[in-house]
C-alpha cells in the first residue's frame, strides 16, 4: 500500500460523507463511535492513502451501516401511513429502464415460483394469491435518488404467505427474482414485518404494468430499490442472496 495520501482526499471529510449515508439515528451512533482518522484505521485496518484503501474503507462503512441498521430495526415499529388526500397523483414510475420497456406479463402463463427452505414448493397463480386475505396501506415510497411519493397498495402480507408455505422463519434471508431480471433480498425480520405485502392491487385496482404487474413486494420500512416489481420467484435461504443494486455497492439493509 502507498504511504502518501491521495492528493485532494480529506480523510475527515470522507468519514463525514460516509456518515451522511446513514439514517439519522444510525448517523449519530456512527459519528459518535467512528469520528477521527484513528478510528478509520482501527475500523479498516489501513490508512486512506490510495484508491484501493479508500474502497476498503467505503465497503467497511457500508457493512457497518448494515450492521447498525439491522440492530436498530424493530419488527413492532410501523412506517407512517397516510390519508387518501395525501396520495401522490400521478405516482411516478421508476426503474433501471424506461416505462415503455416495463415487462408485459401474460397472467395466463405467469406463476410465482417458491423455493429454498420451504415445505411447500408448489407454484402460485395470481388467482390463488388473490384468494388470500389482504391488507391495504397508504405508505410513502422513498427513492435513493432523493424523491418520495405516497401510494395505496393492497395484497396479502408476506409473513402470512411465508407461514402458509411452511418457510423456515429462522432462516436469514428471503430472495426475489423478477420478470425484468431484477434481483433483491430482504432480511427475515423485515419479510415478516406487518407492513411488508405481496402487492396485487394499486389504488384498489389491478396492479398496473408500470408499477409491477402481476405482483410486487411492498416494503415501506426500506428504500425503494428493496421493493421488487414483476416478481416471479421467491426463495428462503441462509446464503446471502445479494441483489441487482446491492452487488454494485448499494447498502444491503437500506432501512428507513
By the 8 A CB rule, do 168 and 236 touch? yes
Q: Rounded to whole angstroms, how far apart are CA atoms 99 and 209?
A: 9
By the 8 A CB rule, do 175 and 185 touch? yes
* Rg, Å, the chain Cα set: 20
- CA pseudo-torsion sign 227, 228, 232, 235: negative
> pTM above 0.85?
no
Q: Rounded to whole angstroms, how far apart are CA atoms 252 and 65?
A: 9
pLDDT, block means (10 residues), the chain with 256 residues = 45 49 49 50 54 50 52 74 97 95 97 98 98 98 95 98 98 98 97 98 97 98 97 98 93 87
Q: Estimate to the nearest angstrom the gap between the alpha carbon of 90 and the chain centroid.
A: 23
Measured CA distances, 1 to 38, 46, 166 (Å): 18, 9, 50
pLDDT at residue 239 in the model: 97
Nearest residue to 82 via CA among 74, 94, 91? 91
pLDDT at residue 76 in the model: 77
By the 8 A CB rule, do 158 and 114 touch? no
Q: Rounded to whole angstroms, how far apart are CA atoms 124 and 112?
A: 5
pLDDT at residue 52 in the model: 55
Amino acid at each position: 500500500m502507498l504511504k502518501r495520501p491521495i492528493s485532494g482526499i480529506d480523510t475527515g471529510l470522507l468519514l463525514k460523507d460516509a456518515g451522511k449515508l446513514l439514517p439519522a439515528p444510525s448517523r449519530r451512533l456512527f459519528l459518535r463511535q467512528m469520528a477521527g482518522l484513528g478510528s478509520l484505521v482501527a475500523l479498516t485496518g489501513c490508512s486512506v492513502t490510495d484508491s484501493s484503501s479508500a474502497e476498503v474503507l467505503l465497503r467497511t462503512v457500508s457493512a457497518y451501516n448494515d450492521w447498525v441498521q439491522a440492530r436498530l430495526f424493530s419488527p413492532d415499529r410501523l412506517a407512517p401511513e397516510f390519508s387518501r388526500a395525501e396520495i401522490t397523483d400521478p405516482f411516478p414510475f421508476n426503474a433501471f429502464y424506461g416505462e415503455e420497456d416495463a415487462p408485459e406479463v401474460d397472467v395466463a402463463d405467469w406463476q410465482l415460483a417458491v423455493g429454498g427452505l420451504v415445505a411447500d414448493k408448489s407454484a402460485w397463480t395470481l388467482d390463488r394469491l388473490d384468494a388470500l386475505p389482504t391488507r391495504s396501506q397508504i405508505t410513502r415510497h422513498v427513492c435513493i435518488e432523493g424523491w418520495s411519493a405516497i401510494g395505496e397498495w393492497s395484497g396479502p402480507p408476506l409473513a402470512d404467505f411465508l407461514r402458509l408455505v411452511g418457510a423456515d422463519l429462522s432462516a436469514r434471508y428471503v430472495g426475489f427474482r423478477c420478470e425484468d431480471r431484477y434481483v433483491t433480498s430482504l432480511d427475515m425480520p423485515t419479510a415478516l414485518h406487518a407492513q411488508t405485502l405481496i402487492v396485487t392491487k394499486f389504488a384498489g385496482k389491478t396492479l398496473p404494468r408500470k408499477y409491477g404487474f402481476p405482483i410486487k413486494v411492498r416494503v415501506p420500512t426500506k428504500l425503494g430499490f428493496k421493493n421488487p416489481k414483476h416478481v416471479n420467484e421467491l426463495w428462503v435461504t441462509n446464503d446471502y442472496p445479494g441483489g441487482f443494486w446491492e452487488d454494485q455497492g448499494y447498502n444491503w439493509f437500506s432501512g428507513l
